[in-house]
Amino acid sequence: MKQLSPWPYPKLIAHRGAGKLAPENTLAALRLGQHFGYSAFEFDVKLTRDRIAILLHDADLARTTNGLGRAEDWLFSDLAQLNAGGWHSKEYSGEPIPTLQNIAQYLISNGLGCNIEIKPTPGLETITGEMVAKCAQQYWASVQVKPVLSSFSYDSLAAAKTICPAMPRGFLTNELPENWLQILTDLDCASIHLSHKTLTQTTVDAIKRAGFRVCAWTVNDPKMAQDMLQWGVDSVITDCVDTIAPF
């Protein structure tokens, strides 16, 4: 049994910046989440053709920008011209796709924390894990509280571990796999990030006894968030930054 890793992160973390109140994975979303009192943010990072780390959830650009195709097929100089806010509302029209470096500068200058989800384009799991870890290591070099690097991809987390073993890692999963302890041990994870739909008090107890932290996603009911924190969940990720007050 391992000793619990330090967990210098707040109980509530804003999903993709500010949930659905602003265009996800943009600087505008982080600013709005901060306005509601949030001090830590979850967001998704993948790579461009020229291996720039950017914030984007989907493999395809169509849902959240006015571009088409995979981000991996675009140079960042071209992606930077896209509108990543107009799909959400006129208020945010013209909001650009940010780089991880842009976001790191904003977070660090404002004393904010983050959970970086490594979200590789299929086929780029290893290189994405490597590049995101290198970027995080560089950008947060002088910051005491490092980001948590999480991913559904075992290969991405393994690559991140190789590049920067000291950076906290979290394994993302919808359901607790039978070999969860082996996975967390092999990846030397600090935490496991589980869907709230499959999380139980018994599961939380077992994970914590084994020495790992627990994050629950994506919890949008205030009572459920409170219940899960009482179970011993270390952080709850939520869209509802306007109705679930941080504490």
Given a cut of 90, whether residue 140 has pLDDT beyond it is: yes
Per-residue pLDDT band at 182 (split at 50, 70, 90)? very high
Mean pLDDT of the chain: 98
CATH 3.40.50.720 fits 12-238, yes or no: no
The span from the CA of 233 to the CA of 177, in Å, is 18
By C-alpha distance, which of 42, 73, 71, 75 is closest to 84? 71
- Mean pLDDT of all residues in 108-118: 99
Given a cut of 80, whether residue 108 has pLDDT beyond it is: yes
Per-residue pLDDT band at 2 (split at 50, 70, 90)? confident
The span from the CA of 128 to the CA of 46, in Å, is 6
Given a cut of 80, whether residue 162 has pLDDT beyond it is: yes
Crossing angle (nearest 10°) for helices 27-35 and 100-109? 20
What are the Cα distances from residue 189, in Å, to 2, 51, 193, 211?
Answer: 11, 25, 11, 10
- Mean pLDDT of all residues in 122-145: 98
Per-residue pLDDT band at 1 (split at 50, 70, 90)? confident
- Mean pLDDT of all residues in 56-73: 98
- Domain residue ranges in the chain: 12-238
- Mean pLDDT of all residues in 21-47: 99
Per-residue pLDDT band at 219 (split at 50, 70, 90)? very high
- Mean pLDDT of all residues in 225-231: 98
- Mean pLDDT of all residues in 36-46: 99
- Mean pLDDT of all residues in 226-233: 98
Cite the beta strand spans of 168-234 per DSSP E. 169-173, 191-195, 213-217
* Token couple for 69: 């195709």
Check residue 99 and report its DSSP letter: B
pLDDT in the model for residue 4: 94
Looking at residue 148, its amino acid is V
pLDDT in the model for residue 247: 74
Enzyme catalytic residues:
15, 57
